Amino acid sequence: MHRLTCAKSGLTPEEYKTLSHLTTPIKIQDFLDAIPFNFEKKGDTHMSPRRVLREDRAHCIEGALFAATALWIRGEPPLIMNVSARMGKGDVDHVIALYKRGGYFGAISKTNHSTIRFRDPIYRTPRELALSYFHEWFMNETGEKTLECYSKPLDMRRFGTEWITAEKDLWHIADALSVLPHYQLVPKGNLRYVRKADAMELKAGMFIEWSESNPRT
């Protein structure tokens, strides 16, 4: 696969330099961990990688698109994937960027929680990777585990490169993810056997990386 060049990306040389310095999935993850979580205080956003750099913050899909761009610059496929909670449970979906090493999948994940984070490249399939999130994906209020399904990976090359520097919110990408085939994780009839998170797990689930009242703490 050809690397994404500065000219084709539409990024400025400085923006491109920042992304091109993130030469491994670990470095990309470290960069995303170091910037504040986007609490969308002025309304819902789906910011482009350019806006993430400028605003110095991101939430999950914004982080996934940023990571996909950095991977593309390194000559890797810019893939993102949706992992989805059960409808009607008050939970939200999560979007991750996929990468492969030695034929195995890993994930780059921007989250404010102590769980559903980075994944090392040890998973044979996207399904295996998605399943790794099941145990730690629960509602803090009830302990109920709500992860239901995952999407077919979305290759961002199908959208060209305009999304990388877009000033408008990228709602069309979220829409494209939502209509992709989604695959169930819990075998039919087995949900009734799933144990709720225990007291220790609930306590761990309350840890956050960034405070909404003071995003630099």
Residue-wise pLDDT for 159-213, tens only, equals 999 999 999 999 999 999 999 999 999 998 999 999 999 999 999 889 999 998 7
Q: Which residues contact 96 (CB under 8 A, 6 or more apart)?
A: 60, 64, 80, 81, 83, 107, 108, 109, 119
Euclidean distance between CA atoms 151 and 67, whole angstroms: 18
Residue 217 pLDDT > 50, yes or no? no
Residue 133: name the closest of 154, 147, 151 by CA.
Answer: 147
- Residue 135 contacts residue 113 (beta carbons within 8 Å): no
Mean confidence (pLDDT) of the chain: 94
Other Cβ atoms within 10 Å of 87 Cβ, number: 8
pLDDT tens readout for residues 12-69: 999 999 999 999 999 999 999 999 999 999 999 999 999 999 999 999 999 999 999 9
Query: What is the residue extent of each domain of the chain?
Result: 6-205
Domain 6-205 has CATH 3.40.630: no
pLDDT in tens, 84-109: 987 655 568 999 999 999 999 999 99
β-sheet bridge partners, residue 150: 83, 183
